[in-house]
Amino acid sequence: MAFQGFCDENRPVAYPVPTYSLYPVLADIQNCTAIEIPFDDEFNLPAKLAATNAALTIVCNPNAPTGSFISVDELASLADEIDGVLLIDEAYVDFAENNCTTLVKDFDNVVILRSLSKGYSLAGLRFGYAIAQPEMIASLMKVKDSYNVDAVAIAVATAAIEDQKYFKENVEKVKSERARLTEQLTELGFNVPGSCSNFVLAQCLPPRLSSRDEAAGKNGRAAEIYKELEKRNIFVRYFNDPKLEDKLRITVGTPEQDDKLLLALKEIIK
Ligand SMILES: Cc1ncc(COP(=O)(O)O)c(C=O)c1O
C-alpha cells in the first residue's frame, strides 16, 4: 500500500542495503526507481539516505538479514531531514530492546509497520498492522483493497495480542537461545555481532579460499558451509551479496535444533 500510495515512475523509493529482499520487488511492480544506499561494514545508517529526495524511504529496523538496530534518535533525525515518507519496517522489533512508536507522535511522515509473523510466531496468519498519524493512515486507506483482513485472522490476532504473558515468554525464550547460539558460534570461531532479531548473522572465520573462489576474489567459506549444512537437512540463509558473502544468516531455533546445527558445524569445520 505504501508503494502504491507514494511511489511511481517519478517518485522513487530509497533504502539502505543489504536489507529485506522484497523492497526491490515491490519497486519493480510499482515501476518506480529504487535508490539503494549501501550500509558501511558495521551496518550504520548511511548519511546519504537523507539526501535522496525519495518519495518513500524505508528502514528495516532491526534490519534483515543483519540483525542490526538503528537508534530511535537517528531515525528521528532522518524523519526530520527528509521531505517524503519514512517507513520503518519493525517486523523483527519484538526481539529488540527498543522501538520507534514514539516517533509517530512527533512526525506526520512516519509509518511504522508491524507483523505477527515473528515475535508472535504466527506467520501463517498473515496479519500485520501500521502505526501512523490519522492523516497518514487515511492516505494509505485510499489504496487499500476493498476487503479487509479476514475475520478469523482478526479474532486470532486480537487473542494473541491480548495474551501478553505468553507473547513475552515466547520472545524471552528466543532471546535467551539467541544468546546461547551466539556464544557457541563464537566459540566455534565465527564472528557473531549482537543481534536484535530472531536470527544471527555469523561471519565465517577463518576464511578458507578454494583456488576458484580466490580467482573470483570471493570468500568461499560461507557458501561451502551452507552447502554442507544443506546436505544434512539443516537450512540457513546464504546471500550472494558483496557485504554478506562471507556470512550465514542463522535463525534461532529450539535448543535441540541449535544443538544439531552446532554439532554439524563442528564436523564441517573439522
Ligand atoms: C523485514 C521484513 N519485513 C516484513 C516481512 C513480512 O512479514 P509478513 O508478511 O509475514 O508479515 C518480513 C518477512 O519475512 C520481513 O523479513
Cα(212) to centroid(ligand 1), Å: 35
pLDDT value of position 220: 60
190 lines ligand 1 (CB under 6 A): no
Instruction: Please give the Cα distance from 40 to 59 (Å, whole number).
Output: 15
Ligand 1 closest atom vs CA 19: 1
User: Does the beta carbon of 47 lie inside 6 Å of ligand 1?
Assistant: no
Total-model pTM: 0.94
pLDDT at 211: 54
* Residue whose cell numbers read 528466543: 174
Q: How many CB atoms lie within 10 A of CB 96?
A: 18
Question: Considering only CA atoms, which of 237, 192, 243 is closest in space to residue 37?
Answer: 243
Residue 123 in contact with ligand 1 by CB distance below 6 A: yes
- DSSP code for 191: B
Q: How many CB atoms lie within 10 A of CB 242?
A: 11
* Nearest-angstrom CA–CA distance, 182 and 194: 8
- pLDDT means per 10 residues in the chain (270 residues)? 97 98 98 98 97 98 98 98 98 98 98 97 96 97 94 97 97 98 96 97 73 51 94 96 94 98 95
Query: Cα-flanking dihedrals φ and ψ of residue 77, to 5°?
Result: -65, -40
Bond from prior residue into 193 cis (ω within 30 degrees of 0): no
- Name the burial class of residue 36, with classes exposed (0-12), middle (13-18) and buried (19+) by CB atoms within 10 angstroms of its CB: middle
Specify the pLDDT at position 263: 98
d(CA 262, CA 204) in angstroms, rounded, equals: 13
pLDDT of the residue at 205: 80
Structure confidence at residue 93 (pLDDT)? 98
Residues sharing a CB contact under 8 Å with residue 242, sequence separation 6 or more, in sequence order:
none
Residue 216 is predicted with a pLDDT of: 47
Distance CA 127, CA 156 (A): 9
Quote the cell numbers at residue 74: 537517528
* pLDDT the model gives residue 217: 44
Q: Cα(111)–Cα(101) distance, rounded to whole angstroms?
A: 9
**Strands of the 237-238 sheet, one edge to the other:** 199-203, 247-251, 237-238
